[in-house]
Amino acid sequence: MSSVSPERIDLRRLLTPAPAETQSPERHLAPVDLPARKRRRSPLTGALISVGLVLGILASQLGLSIAVSQGAYEMRALEIEQRDLSRVERVLAQNVDKLASPQNLAENAARLGMVQNARPATLRLSDGAVLGSLEITATEAQANLVPNSTLAALPVVDAEGLLVPRVAPVLSDEPPVRWKGELPAPETR
């Protein structure tokens, strides 16, 4: 048996909107608490740090660059010193060559009054024999006849050890003229 008991349909309830839900059920929502946060830094610190870092990098770059340039200046100064010293060395070596030239030695020797042994004797070492004569055939110190214009300004040492001006060698085209003919004689009575 089916018995459908007609229920009373509450039309009013059907037509009117459903009442809002009551706030009575427990809400599961609650305002959120702020999470436990660390102490907040001011943005200034970060800025300072990054600026400081950048400045530090720039400063070290500048320092390196100064050091490199300093090295370059030092190297340049040393190169200049080397150039100057090698110039001095070249002048000194040439002075030595000039002073060692045979003309200088001969002029100084002549001024000192030295003579030359024209025929030195030889000593043979194997048996101690003396070859040649031990009599000294000294020749007069001859004037130097071979010019050397690099010596013009250098003095010579004379027999007293004093520096005296040098006399340039003169190759005269007119040596003493020989007398020709009879010698003049005074008239006598």
Partner 1 sequence: MKQRITRSRSLLVFIVIIVAAGAFFVRLVDVQLVSASELNEEARGKRAVPVVIPSVRGDIVDRNGEVLATTDERYDVQLSPKNTRVNGGKFYRPDPHGIGTVEVTAAEAFEEIGEITGQEGEEIQEIVDEALADNPKSDFAYVKRSVDLSQLNELKELRIPWLTFESQHTRTYPNGAIAGNIIGFSSSDGQPQSGVEVSQDACLTGIDGSEEYERSEDGVALPGSVVVTKQAVDGGTVELTIDLDLQWEAQQTINRQVQNVQAEWGFLVIMDVKTGELVAVAEDGSVDPNDVDASDPTKREARSFVAPYEPGSTLKTLTFAALIDQGVATPLTQNLTPAYLEPEPGVRFGDSFWHEPMQWTMTGILTQSSNVGTATLGTLLSAEERYDYLQRFGLGASTQAGMPLEDSGFLTPAENWDRQTVYNTTFGQAVSTTIVQMAGAYQAIANGGLRVPPTIVRGCQDVSGDETVLDHGEPVQAVSEHTADQVMGMLETVANEAWFDEIIEIPGYRLAGKTGTAEQPDGQGGYRADFVNSFAGIFPADDPQYVAVASVAFAKGGDGATAALTAFHEAAEATIRTFGIPPSSGTYAPIPTEY
Interface positions with partner 1 (CB under 8 A):
68-69, 71-73, 75-76, 87-88, 90-91, 94, 97-98, 100-103, 106, 118-120, 122, 124, 131-133, 142, 144-151, 171-173, 175, 177-178
Work out how close the CB of 11 gets to partner 1 at its nearest, in angstroms, rounded to a whole number: 47
How far apart (Å, rounded) are the C-alpha atoms in residues 123 and 121?
7
CB closer to partner 1, 63 vs 120? 120
CB closer to partner 1, 101 vs 112? 101
Contacts of 158 (CB under 8 A, 6+ apart): 111, 112, 164
CB closer to partner 1, 1 vs 131? 131
> Which residue from 93, 99, 68, 115 is spatially nearest to 166, judged by alpha carbons?
99
CB closer to partner 1, 46 vs 120? 120
Work out how close the CB of 15 gets to partner 1 at its nearest, in angstroms, rounded to a whole number: 41
Work out how close the CB of 118 gets to partner 1 at its nearest, in angstroms, rounded to a whole number: 6
Work out how close the CB of 35 gets to partner 1 at its nearest, in angstroms, rounded to a whole number: 34
Could you tell me the sign of the dihedral formed by the alpha carbons of 164, 165, 171, 177, in that order? negative
Phi, psi of 22 (to 5 degrees): -75, 155
Percentages (nearest 5) of helix, strand, coil residues in the chain: 40, 5, 50
